[in-house]
Amino acid sequence: MPDFPRTPSFNLSGKRALIVGASSGIGLACAVALAEQGAEVTLAARRADKLTKIVDQMTANKWLARSMVLDVSDVETTAEAVNKAGPFDILVNSAGLARHSKATETTIEDFDAVMDVNIRGAYFLTQTVAKGLLDAGIAGSLINISSQMAHVGGQDRAVYCASKHAVEGFTKAMAIEWGPAKIRVNTICPTFILTDLTRETFADPHKRAWILDKIKLGRAGEVEDIMGAVVYLASDAAALVTGTSMMIDGGWTAD
């Protein structure tokens, strides 16, 4: 019999995952995907009541789940909470903020608010989880939910694009630094995903037409489109993947 290669495992049993921004949308979908593969998931967000209900539903489904109240813009408190609960083998950071306007109308308040979450919060959250892995001497997979807008420009999105381009930059640098410790750092870059937060955008026929015209597959994304990607990057199947972006954009950035 030939000695065939074996497909690496997608199973995450025995792994501990921290999913931030997990109370809805992409973050919740990522938590479900990792739990389905056997990971013990800690769902973190600002809304304690919603997290409690979700965790109750997940544990009733025989998944390993718990909750943690976090606001990533509060860097010091976040680091303290993550250090107390860690180390985590997997990080998925889906916390994000968007305040769209024409670049000539950007306010300092909006700029600072977006950067506090999307850059400062994401950077130090990733740093904190990595420090826990380094101290424990274990490998890990750190995933930031970025955006297709980290690779292109978008109308009325100068601040958001700036923040997501920066996430791609620190991802590459951190991947280089922590690669020898087998800590992988990557981003997932979705196109427009149908969630409660994007319903207003899709309700505008002009904006919807612009979006669908740019997506070569002719449809908006759904949270299910992200779930396989996060399992892949978290698992041994992606053991040689670091410092890069997984584009889930329906061909938006192919131009």
| Separation of alpha carbons 128 and 82, rounded Å | 7
Among this protein's residues, is 123 annotated catalytic? no
- DSSP states of the chain as a string? ------PPP---TT-EEEEESTTSHHHHHHHHHHHHTT-EEEEEES-HHHHHHHHHHHHHTT--EEEEE--TTSHHHHHHHHHHH---SEEEE-------B-GGG--HHHHHHHHIIIIIIHHHHHHHHHHHHHHHT--EEEEEE--GGGTS--TTBHHHHHHHHHHHHHHHHHHHHHGGGTEEEEEEEE--B-STTTHHHHHSHHHHHHHHHH-TTSS-B-THHHHHHHHHHHSGGGTT--S-EEEESTTGGG-
Q: Which of 63, 88, 123, 160 is catalytic?
A: 160
One-letter identity of residue 86 = G
What residues are labeled active site?
Answer: 160
